[in-house]
Homo-oligomer: A and B are copies of this chain.
């Protein structure tokens, strides 16, 4: 089943378009995962603590959200032990029935890109239980660096999200360069790349990462990519509010067309002053309820 259709079915089933980012940042982990920070412990033990944390987050959110987005960098910090922890997290999310979007931002040429696509999307390479439903990719190297991922989307009913306009302040440095701005040129190509991978829901398996922090640009990106599922980072911790995202969604009766990511806003909600009396899981759960409620008016 086409990735866009699977994602849409998951969004429909859960009734919201919330994506929980799993970014087990060492310095921000709750005290009970302190062992991850303990440089005196074996690396495998520290990595296991990261996976424990992420798996507990999955337990907290799995019944309410359609998808999670583990961030590879925080696992890779512990080398092969970290990647083993990553595999455990991906497997746990899949077992919980969640769509897994691997935030890996890979990009390379030809057969090297094909190797990355296999690494994350091919059940025969990664192992069926560790495979992601979709990954994020970086377009800087051009169309021939994207093509192998499109082939993987076809072969494995997977998805990709191409970085178009990222949520960080520095994204303007290069993504706004030129006329049209580079990000808009990339957007046009994303629309073209997705043409062959449109599912029954009308959306493609080729998605775009567009920062929720660029509210005024969302409409033009949506116009340039009418069949593209958007992944919107930057909600919550990075400052974007729900009302600003309305242009990213498709109007009814089309399906929603976008998923909104919050990472630290959910997983590290226990650090918020007003949640000071709550344990970290309850804080995460409350923060997720808030996010679902806040997004309800704009989703559909």
Q: Across the two chains, which residue of chain B brings its CB closest to A168?
A: B109
Stretch of A6-14, A149-157, A169-177, A248-256 on the interface side: A169-177
Contacts of A293 in B (CB 8 A): none
A76-B119 in contact (CB<8A): yes
A178: Cβ under 8 A from any B Cβ:
yes
A182-B173 in contact (CB<8A): no
Q: Which residues of A pack against B, CB within 8 Å?
A: 23, 25, 39, 43, 71, 73-74, 76-84, 86-87, 105-113, 115-116, 118-120, 124-127, 130, 138-145, 163, 166-175, 177-179, 182, 185-186, 189
A178-B189 in contact (CB<8A): no
Copies of this protein in the assembly total 2
CB distance from A128 to the nearest CB of B (A): 12
B166-A79 in contact (CB<8A): no
Measured in the bound complex, the distance between the Cα atoms of B105 and A150 in whole Å is 20
A115-B77 in contact (CB<8A): yes
CB distance from A272 to the nearest CB of B (A): 18
B140-A175 in contact (CB<8A): yes
Q: Across the two chains, which residue of chain B brings its CB closest to A83?
A: B80
B77-A171 in contact (CB<8A): no
Contacts of A106 in B (CB 8 A): 73, 105
Measured in the bound complex, the distance between the Cα atoms of B47 and A126 in whole Å is 12
24 residue pairs A–B, Cβ–Cβ below 8 Å: A43-B127, A73-B108, A73-B113, A74-B115, A76-B115, A76-B120, A77-B118, A79-B83, A79-B87, A80-B83, A80-B84, A107-B107, A140-B166, A141-B168, A142-B169, A142-B170, A142-B171, A144-B169, A174-B185, A177-B177, A177-B182, A178-B178, A178-B179, A182-B182
B140-A168 in contact (CB<8A): no
CB distance from A211 to the nearest CB of B (A): 10
Residue in B71, B119, B144 whose beta carbon sits within 8 Å of that of A73 in the complex: B119
A73-B115, A80-B87, A140-B175 known, 17 other contacts, Cβ within 8 Å: A73-B108, A73-B112, A74-B112, A76-B115, A79-B130, A82-B119, A83-B83, A105-B106, A107-B107, A138-B140, A139-B174, A140-B140, A141-B168, A142-B166, A142-B168, A177-B177, A178-B182
